[in-house]
Amino acid sequence: MIYIVLSVLFNTVLFIILKLFSKFNINTVQALVVNYFVAFSMGLFFSEEAFDYSKIIEKQWYPGSLMLGFLFIGVFYATAITSQRNGLSVASVASKMSVIIPICFGVILFNDSVGIAKIIGILMALVAVYFTSKKEKGAVADSKNLLYPILVFFGAGAIDTSLKILQNDYLPENEISLFSSHTFLMAFFVGVPIIGVNILKNKIKMEGKNMLAGIVLGIPNYFSLYYLIKMLDSEVFESSTIFTIHNVAIVMVSTLVGILFFNEKISSRNAIGIAMALVAIFLVTS
């Protein structure tokens, strides 16, 4: 249970840092790429094994880690474009509603139990995520721009599902730090040419404040992935239950942080969402 709490905690810290990016006019792309290198370095520091690439490519989890590196960057870009074209609430809902994908795979691949209470809880959790995430008025997806919310939905779901499969079948517990470190390194390598193109195309420079923001973001980002894998590895609950609790808790806590520290207004829809989330957690864990 402690790993669920820690994963939710570090994901909430990420939410706070990203929220502050706009306040300090941080270039998100630059900060994100620096963040991946910092997260990679954190993995090196905590890893029980030396970072020997000739041995890493022989690991069973190597192809999956490589794929996740691309997914991390790709989903981020799709989320950014969705936020710009369809609104922040659409991006948030698309990302969080993707929890249905690992839940379905948990039932299919890992034979998770499916009872009436659990099904009601999962459905209620999805509605709760939608209600809690919906903060903008009039943020309706343009049918011409539905591609990016769809990419966010399937991309975020693919990340969670891949992590569960890798953790369950290919990733020893003593290699979690090494795996996390390598995954962040792959994301960094993918991000570097993106920054290069961005600099040349838009004639912008790497700024110190963006690099500092990336460093601040990279530390909790490493722990968010590390404790997510540890959470899946603990097997306190079935994977479908864990993903439901995890995503709903992140939405709830992030919403409460926004209300308490960023003066965000809570609507009756948000309040209903939070109440439904609490009931959903009770149902899926009972």
Of 98, 87, 77, 140, nearest to 246 by C-alpha is 98
- Look up residue 148 and give its two tokens: 């990016």
Q: What's the pLDDT band for 171 if we cut at 50, 70, 90?
A: very high
Domain ranges of the chain: 2-285
Nearest of 244, 248, 229, 4 to residue 107 by alpha carbon: 244
Least reliable range by pLDDT among 38-47, 196-205, 249-258, 266-275? 196-205
Q: Is 65 exposed, middle or buried (0-12, 13-18, 19+ CB in 10 A)?
A: buried
Q: How far is CA 173 from CA 66, 101, 160, in A?
A: 19, 24, 18
- CA distances (Å), origin 254, targets 147, 224, 257, 259: 26, 14, 5, 9
Buried b (16+ CB within 10 A) or exposed e, 15-49: bebeeebeeeebbbbbbbbbbbbbbbbbbbeebee
Burial call 116-131: b when 16+ CB within 10 Å, e when fewer: eebeebbebbbebbbb
Chain centre distance of CA 65: 15
Whole-number pLDDT of residue 140: 47
- Residue 71, token pair as written in the block: 């997914």
**pLDDT (tens digit, 9 = 90+) per residue, 80-124?**
777 667 766 667 777 878 888 998 899 889 888 888 988 998 998
Q: Has residue 170 got a pLDDT over 90?
A: yes
Assess contact for 14 and 221: CB atoms under 8 A: yes
Instruction: State the amino acid at position 272 in one-letter form.
Output: I
pLDDT of residue 250: 86
Task: Report d(CA 27, CA 219) in Å as an integer.
Answer: 18
CA distance 147 to 38: 31
Q: What pLDDT is stored for residue 139 in this prediction? A: 47
In tens, the pLDDT along 186-201 reads: 999 998 998 888 778 8
DSSP letters for 87-140: -HHHHHHHHHHTTHHHHHHHHHHS-----HHHHHHHHHHHHHHHHHH--STT--
CA neighbours closer than 13 Å in the CB half-sphere of residue 246: 30
Q: How far apart are CA 160 and CA 52, in angstroms?
A: 26
Please give the Cα distance from 170 to 172 (Å, whole number). 7
Residue 169 confidence (pLDDT) above 80: yes
